[in-house]
Structure 1
Amino acid sequence: MGSLVLREDRDGCATLTLNRPDKLNALNVELFAELSGHVDRIAAETDRVGLVIVRGAGKCFSAGHDLTDIAAGEKPPRPNFQADVIERLANLPQPVISAVHGHCYTGALELALAGDLIVASEAAKFADTHARWALTPVWGMSQRLPRRVGLPKAREMMFTARTYTGRQAEAMGLANICVPDAEFDAELASLTKAILANSWYSHRANKALLLATDGLPLAAGLDHEIVRTRGRGPDMEERIAAFTAKTAKIA
């Protein structure tokens, strides 16, 4: 059997591709085990990985948690294993982009919500269908979805189990960007280039601040920023010198 999660590294970006296209990338324990290994390795590679993209092979991002596995009785290596993998993906020091085309249902949406940014194609389809199957979230839906779209919209999605298009996801703030299907890969490439061109040190420091202060009152968050900021990066002087030299040439 081939790898269930493929990794490709290019110019500082590590792309993780869910690779069960014949099963619409349905999420099973074996896939999460491979994803876990990739996440652990990437977390230790901040010197050569500045950005992570998670996407799906074939027709979609993922149809969600494999219902066949649920019915058969899954045997994860430890309790809350899948939720822990998603949490570690969300807490990677590098920015994470969830690139969603096609289906992104329930467990797959919980996985996508681990991304700092969600990029959607117009044909993307988002839904939380826990209630359709008499299930309740255990991978983070009840916490990450309201923080992304607001409590009223999260209630709507969770209670109705409706499907939302890429454009609707963008309008509600679930997706940061939605583009026509034909422009999906080009938009990802452009976004990747823009992010990687900035300081990887700043990205890690800014993400750490955002994660640590999420949900804090404003005063507490401001205090944290002042006391815990990581300050100047090792590439600051080089970046300013390059900008100054470029400006001098123009003048």
Structure 2
Amino acid sequence: MQPLVLREDTDGLATLTLHRPEKLNALTVALFAELRAHVQQLAQETDRIGLVLLRGAGKCFSAGHDLADIAHGEHPPQPHFQADTIELLANLPQPVITAVHGHCYTGALELALAGDLIVAAESAKFADTHARWALVPVWGMSQRLPRRVGLAKAQEMTYTARTFSGREAEAMGLVNWCVPDAEFDAALDRTARSILTNSWFSLRANKRLYRETEGLPLRAGLSHEIHRSEGRGPDMAERIAAFMNKTSKLA
């Protein structure tokens, strides 16, 4: 049986690929089970994995929650299994990039929003279609979407259920940037390499600070940073020494 989520590691980057291309990577309980196993493993591998990239195989990121699965009656191994899996992904110690091309609808958008950064191809199509199917979010849409784009824009997406292009998503702040499809893979590679050249200690520590202080009043957030920041990393001295050595050679 073909795996539903593929993992490939390259130079500190772990790429997770949703792998139901014949079904437009529609999300099933079985797919979430495989995704969860990968995420739990990655959380234990901070020494060799500094960044995680989530993407879809074939024509799109994902068409969303598999409606056939819903109609037939799903049997997750525990209550709130899919939502908890998305939360585990969002809370990975490593930064997470979601790469979206083609469809990214409803449940797929909830999954994509677990990424710290979202990169879109111009072919990307985003929509929250819960209302079209008489559904209400249970995987995080009502919380993560307005935090990403603001309440008014989130309400527009939710109430109209209309589709937004990759460029529209970029304009509203849903994605960090949008690139032509022909440049998509190269842009992802450049971004990943750029991030991975930085201190993995700092990447994890900064992600933790953002997560722990989100929603706090400014004074409380500043106090948290001052008193609970991890400060200097174990690779600080080495990095500064390498920089000083490089500049001295250029002098």
User: Common fold, TM-score beyond 0.5?
Assistant: yes
Report the Cα distance in structure 2 between the residues aligned to 1:183 and 1:171, rounded to whole angstroms: 19
Report the Cα distance in structure 2 between the residues aligned to 1:99 and 1:241, rounded to whole angstroms: 35
Number of matched pairs? 251
* Local SS of the residue matching 2:16: strand
Counterpart for residue 8 of structure 1? 8
* Local SS of the residue matching 1:52: strand
Counterpart for residue 229 of structure 1? 229
Deviations 1:167-199 (A, max 9, x none): 000000000010000000000000000000000
Q: Measure how far apart 1:220 and its partner are.
A: 0.5
Deviations 1:197-238 (A, max 9, x none): 000000000000000000010011001001110110010000
Query: Residue 121 of structure 1 aligns to which amino acid in structure 2?
Result: A
> Is it true that 1:131 corresponds to 2:131 in the alignment?
yes
CA RMSD of aligned residues (A): 0.4
Query: Residue 187 of structure 1 aligns to which amino acid in structure 2?
Result: A
Counterpart for residue 60 of structure 2? 60
Query: Residue 133 of structure 2 aligns to which amino acid in structure 1?
Result: W
Counterpart for residue 152 of structure 2? 152
Counterpart for residue 141 of structure 1? 141
* Local SS of the residue matching 1:238: helix
Counterpart for residue 191 of structure 1? 191
> Is it true that 1:248 corresponds to 2:248 in the alignment?
yes
Q: Spell out the pairing of 1:65-84 with structure 2 (5 A cutoff).
A: 65-84=65-84
Q: Spell out the pairing of 1:33-182 with structure 2 (5 A cutoff).
A: 33-182=33-182
Counterpart for residue 31 of structure 1? 31
* Local SS of the residue matching 1:3: coil
> Is it true that 1:202 corresponds to 2:199 in the alignment?
no
Query: Residue 59 of structure 1 aligns to which amino acid in structure 2?
Result: K
* Local SS of the residue matching 1:2: coil
Counterpart for residue 20 of structure 2? 20
Report the Cα distance in structure 1 between the residues aligned to 2:157 and 2:228, rounded to whole angstroms: 36
* Local SS of the residue matching 1:79: coil
Deviations 1:26-59 (A, max 9, x none): 0000000000000000000000000000000000
Q: Measure how far apart 1:250 and its partner are.
A: 1.0
Q: Which runs of 4+ in 1 moved over 3 A?
A: none
Report the Cα distance in structure 1 between the residues aligned to 2:78 and 2:139, rounded to whole angstroms: 14
Report the Cα distance in structure 1 between the residues aligned to 2:53 and 2:13, rounded to whole angstroms: 7
* Local SS of the residue matching 1:53: strand
Report the Cα distance in structure 1 between the residues aligned to 2:48 and 2:126, rounded to whole angstroms: 32
Report the Cα distance in structure 2 between the residues aligned to 1:219 and 1:135, rounded to whole angstroms: 39
Query: Residue 83 of structure 1 aligns to which amino acid in structure 2?
Result: A
* Local SS of the residue matching 1:82: helix
Q: Measure how far apart 1:85 and its partner are.
A: 0.2
Q: Measure how far apart 1:116 and its partner are.
A: 0.1
Query: Residue 163 of structure 1 aligns to which amino acid in structure 2?
Result: T
Query: Residue 177 of structure 1 aligns to which amino acid in structure 2?
Result: W
Report the Cα distance in structure 2 between the residues aligned to 1:213 and 1:230, rounded to whole angstroms: 14
Gapped runs of 5+ residues in structure 1?
A: none
Query: Residue 151 of structure 2 aligns to which amino acid in structure 1?
Result: L
Gapped runs of 5+ residues in structure 2?
A: none
Query: Residue 135 of structure 1 aligns to which amino acid in structure 2?
Result: L
Q: Measure how far apart 1:249 and its partner are.
A: 1.0
TM-score, reference length from structure 1: 1.00
Report the Cα distance in structure 1 between the residues aligned to 2:165 and 2:187, rounded to whole angstroms: 18
Q: Measure how far apart 1:78 and its partner are.
A: 0.4
Query: Residue 175 of structure 1 aligns to which amino acid in structure 2?
Result: V
